[in-house]
Homo-oligomer: A and B are copies of this chain.
């Protein structure tokens, strides 16, 4: 079973990577980009076959390792 985790910075947390991307897009001539936020996507192959158990296991992984819950939000999709 595959799972995808999206980890994004919480609103209000400074995102220097996103700001750098926005600045570079401007330099390359892409106008009309208001805001850029950059996050991580983590794709996991799990041996667990029950989608409910798999989701709860992945949420546990997010809390313990994949996301820094002080500054980041995460969402888990089971594919």
Contacts and interface: CB of A to CB of B under 8 A. Distances in A.
B44 A6 contact: no
Contact of A65 (B24, B40, B48, B60): B24
A64 B45 CA distance: 31
Interface residues of A, number: 32
Contacts of A35: 44-45
A45 B65 contact: no
Given A24-B65, A38-B40, A32 B46 contact: yes
Interface in A47-75: 47-48, 57, 60-61, 64-66
A39 interface: yes
Contacts of A57: 30, 32
